[in-house]
Amino acid sequence: MLTIKEKFLIVFPSYLVALLPLFLITGPFLSDLSVVLVSLIFLINIITRRELYLLKNKFFIIFFIFFLYLVFNSFVKFYDIHNLRSSISYIRFGLYTMGVIYFLDKKPDLLKWLFWVFVFCFVILIFDGFFQYFLKTNYFNVIIEQGRITSLFGSEHVLGSYLSRLFPIFLGLTFFLYKDKRNYIFLISFVFILIEVLIFLSGERVAFFFNTLAAVFVILMLKDFKKIRFFSFLVSIIIILIISMYDNSAKKRIWDQTIYQIGINSKHLNLFSEGHESHYKSAYKMFEDNKIIGIGIRNFRNYCNEEKYKIGYKKIIIPFQIYHDRSCTTHPHNTYIQLLSETGIIGFSFLLSIFFYFLYLCTIHLFGIIKNKVYYFNNFEICLLAALLITIWPFIPSGNFFNNWLSIIYYFPVGFLLWSIKKNKKKQKIKLYIRN
């Protein structure tokens, strides 16, 4: 029988971790509150139990150095209380990651709780999303606008982002918990088809790209159920192509607008839209003026009104969407360019090194498959790597790096991946492989 103290210090934070997918649907408040509480209770645990060795984790050390730099940057480039508050409070994400590892060790049932929370969330969102698509409204009388589905997220166009970023984690949990039960795998394949189609109908092009990229990554990297995974992916693409023939709004948003912005039908090809390109040019100019430490955390919004940084800005009108005066925004809409402009070479190097590290792990795994038919990471870890890679993919528009909701999604899979690698001692295997 657990004591009240044990319930508070172990069971309660484990529930908070498992409930995070549900909290993310409600908005940033509950999800961020759960991150703060898990971080604080984790600190209480390791201090009272004298388990401070966890803070010697290599990931946490690197994260802590980055955190110290953010605080330093905010003091040097202080503009208002917002940038200082963002940097000081950023420590919670590193502590939360270590907390996930800690509570997984103490309460392995956490994974089963998380799985069923995911089931609940995805069933509700999928059912409500298609309900909204066919009836043009949902349970909460949120009317579909411009043919774009939002489900429980109301006016926020983040349904696709939520599904694309979290589904790989859900898939990984299925393999981890129910690998030997083929019925579960078939069911999850069906869920993937519904999610891929729903993301397409939401009109979120980045999310659609992310989910498709993750699917291809999983098909290539996973050891088991290759035919099932390929078949479900193929079916989803066929359904989407059929929908494109009859639903003009979804087709315009995903296909036509993308083709127009890239410039496939024109003389010049573009990697980014005209609006995003203007942001990137402004941000790069800020970086050129402040190469080492940048302009300061969350300061893009404060500098972009200056005349010298209004590079290429104008009122942009294209056939599928109207952009008003884009002379200034809260962030440059790309994580890497944001860190480059706001934190300089030093901050940018942190994120770039993480991306290449995960890319390096994937390369080792793929090389092992091709050369020796050896799978260095299990299915759970591959799915988590997929979730992380699509999250930190460089060449894509993204939200504010310091946004609470997005940051939680960034760090959520990291704890599970580090826990699994530690548990299975994959580092030693990789080192041995490299040595040989």
pLDDT at 100: 96
Q: Which of 224-228, 321-325, 335-339 has the highest mean pLDDT?
A: 335-339
pLDDT over 50 (residue 324) = no
Give pLDDT, residue 321.
47
pTM, two decimals, is 0.88
Lowest mean pLDDT among 10-19, 275-284, 295-304, 381-390: 275-284
Provide, rounded to the nearest whole percent, the portion of the chain with pLDDT above 70.
Answer: 86
pLDDT score, position 139:
66
Which pLDDT band holds residue 155 (cuts at 50, 70, 90)? confident
For 158-187, what is the mean pLDDT? 87
Q: What is the pLDDT of residue 317?
A: 44
Q: How confident is the model at residue 395 (pLDDT cuts 50, 70, 90)?
A: confident
CA distance 192 to 232: 7
What are the b/e assignments for 63-88, b being 16+ CB within 10 Å?
beebbebbeebbeebebeeebbebbe
**pLDDT of 336 above 50:** yes
In the chain, the percentage of residues whose pLDDT exceeds 90 is 34
* pLDDT band (50, 70, 90) for residue 326: low
Mean pLDDT, the chain, rounded, equals 83
pLDDT confidence bin for 322, thresholds 50/70/90: very low
Q: Which pLDDT value is given to residue 327?
A: 55
Q: Say if residue 435's pLDDT is above 60.
A: no
Residue 275's pLDDT is 63
Q: What is the average per-residue pLDDT within 105-116? A: 93
pLDDT, mean of residues 420-429:
72
Indicate the pLDDT class of residue 426, thresholds 50, 70 and 90.
Answer: low
pLDDT score, position 436: 53
pLDDT (tens digit per residue) in 225-278: 778 878 888 999 899 888 888 877 776 777 666 666 665 555 555 555 666 777
